[in-house]
Amino acid sequence: MIRLQTRLPDDYTRAEPDDLAARVAEAKRRLGERLVILGHHYQRDDVITFADARGDSFGLSRYAATRQDAEFVVFCGVHFMAESADILTASHQQVLLPDLNAGCSMADMADEEEVEQLWDELEGVIDLERVVPVTYMNSAASLKAFVGRHGGAVCTSSNARAILRWALGLEGAAPVAGGRGDKVLFFPDQHLGRNTGFQLGFSGGDMRVVNPRLSLGGLEERDAKEATFLLWKGHCSVHQRFSADQVSAFRASQPGGIVIVHPECAHEVVELADQVGSTDYIIRAVDAAPAGSVIAVGTEIHLVDRLAKEHPDRKVVSLDPLVCPCSTMSRIDLPHLAWVLDGLLDGVVRNRITVHETVAASARVALERMLAIA
Ligand code: 13P
Ligand code: SF4
């Protein structure tokens, strides 16, 4: 999705990093309790250092909902996260994204029109009352609203198992109204859906990938009827780079090494890894590893590098020797952060992210259902 970020004045683009850091620190001091800065784990170090709270997309959305005192929430992350923060915060709070071009290529792989079309096509083949739509947090607010309208929930990489257990009414499902379907339509990340399905004991035969470019997602009627998981054909270009060959190469060079990956990686990689989990989980797993461990991590490089710095007694490396930053997360930098904060000092709100109340109301249902379940 194309969004238009204004070009910053030279005063920001040409400033020295130390000067920008001093300006951000001063703006933070002057705005005091009126401001909260949230930082996703994939942010650069020079930005994350100013975050009042760091977290994964789940933790930050929960935290945003508790900070009703702050008038301005500056979200150092990507667009869908800022949208979720706007939905979950009170109406007197304003959410700002320092660079409007900080989107998520995976979130852009599904839009409301495509999902509505597939839903309509499925209606001719299966009983939609028995299908629970689940959207990954990495999706536009309009998709969260779709899910809210159709009895489903949002999930993140830390709670996908609990959400799918609820959606299918499996043993141990949270006692939250709804769910208990025969099928799940999961979007936009096929990998998180597939990996979670396997973790819950399902097999590949219970899953079908739906391609939004083809009629009925490219499925035969029989497939649509048989499948428990209809997995949207979307992926994260950062996590898709990790491969089974990289795991084998690491194991060959580091016998006894530990492999930890994010569930947005392909199933063959997850299967070979020692541990799999959200960004928050990965941090805890590296913390818990004994001193002297050699750990290959399959996730975005800013987090991997930070973990390496914070654990000098362990060797933490990227599973992909060529590494791959998330180019959209990287758009949030000190010049953009300083620019939005200076605006607030001048009484100008720049890059406010607002979700129209008609969309927000249904999206809130899906987000609050998620918070109730997990
Ligand atoms: P987390 O939910 O683990 O923070 O991941 C968000 C994300 O964008 C991963 O690519
Ligand atoms: Fe989106 Fe992937 Fe970047 Fe996460 S790492 S924000 S899923 S493109």
Q: What is the CATH number of the domain that holds 227?
A: 3.40.50.10800
The CB of 278 under 6 Å from ligand 1? The reply is yes
Structure-token pair, residue 22? 């001093």
pLDDT for 218 equals 98
Residues 99 and 113 in one domain: no
Residues 111 and 232 in one domain: yes
Position 1 confidence tier, pLDDT thresholds 50, 70, 90: low
Stated as kind and residue range, the H or E segment containing 39 is: strand 35-40
Q: Is residue 374 part of a domain?
A: no
Residues 229 and 267 in one domain: no
Report cis status (omega within 30 of 0) of the bond before 133.
no
Task: Express each pLDDT in 196-233 by its tens digit.
Answer: 999 999 999 999 999 999 999 999 999 999 999 999 99
Q: Is residue 3 part of a domain?
A: no
Q: Is residue 4 part of a domain?
A: no
Q: How far apart are CA 155 and CA 280, in angstroms?
A: 15
Residues 60 and 134 in one domain: no
pLDDT for 58 equals 75
pLDDT for 2 equals 57
Position 4 confidence tier, pLDDT thresholds 50, 70, 90: confident
Q: How far apart are CA 166 and CA 133, in angstroms?
A: 12
The CB of 370 under 6 Å from ligand 2? The reply is no
Q: Is residue 28 part of a domain?
A: yes
Q: Which domain holds residue 142?
A: 107-236
Domain boundary among 194, 216, 236: 236
More confident residue, 323 or 188: 188
pLDDT for 89 beyond 70 = yes
CB neighbours (10 Å) of residue 229?
26
What are the backbone dihedrals phi and psi of residue 15, each rounded to the nearest 5 degrees, phi first? Answer: -70, 150
pLDDT for 3 equals 63
Give the residue ranges of DSSP H helices in 99-230.
112-123, 141-149, 160-168, 190-199, 221-226
Domain boundary among 209, 236, 263: 236
Residues 212 and 250 in one domain: no
Closest C-alpha to ligand 1, atom 4: 56
Q: For residue 282, give the ligand 1 atom closest to its CA.
A: 3
More confident residue, 139 or 66: 139
Number of domains in the chain: 3
Residues 223 and 141 in one domain: yes
Residues 120 and 218 in one domain: yes
C-alpha of residue 300 to centroid of ligand 1, in Å: 9
Residues 99 and 116 in one domain: no
The CB of 236 under 6 Å from ligand 1? The reply is yes
pLDDT for 136 beyond 90 = yes
Closest C-alpha to ligand 2, atom 6: 104
pLDDT for 193 beyond 70 = yes
Closest C-alpha to ligand 2, atom 1: 104
Residues 18 and 134 in one domain: no
**Average pLDDT score over the chain:** 96
C-alpha of residue 270 to centroid of ligand 2, in Å: 17
Q: Which long-range contacts (CB under 8 A, 24 or more apart) does 217-221 make?
A: 217/118, 217/121, 217/122, 221/125
User: Do 36 and 89 touch, CB atoms closer than 8 A?
Assistant: no
Q: What are the beta bridge partners of residue 232?
A: 210
Q: Is residue 90 part of a domain?
A: yes
The pick from 41, 56, 78, 109 for probing ligand 2's pocket by mutation, whose C-beta has the most ligand atoms within 8 angstroms, reads 78
Q: What's the number of CA atoms in the CB half-sphere (13 Å) around residue 22? A: 5
pLDDT for 306 equals 97
Q: Is residue 148 part of a domain?
A: yes
List strands edge to edge, sheet with 183-187.
153-155, 131-136, 183-187, 229-232, 207-210
Q: Is residue 369 part of a domain?
A: no
pLDDT for 64 equals 82
Residues 195 and 139 in one domain: yes
Domain boundary among 205, 236, 267: 236
Residues 47 and 73 in one domain: yes
pLDDT for 370 beyond 80 = yes
pLDDT for 61 equals 74
Residues 177 and 112 in one domain: yes
Q: Is residue 149 part of a domain?
A: yes
The rounded percent of the chain whose pLDDT value lies above 70 is 99
C-alpha of residue 346 to centroid of ligand 1, in Å: 33
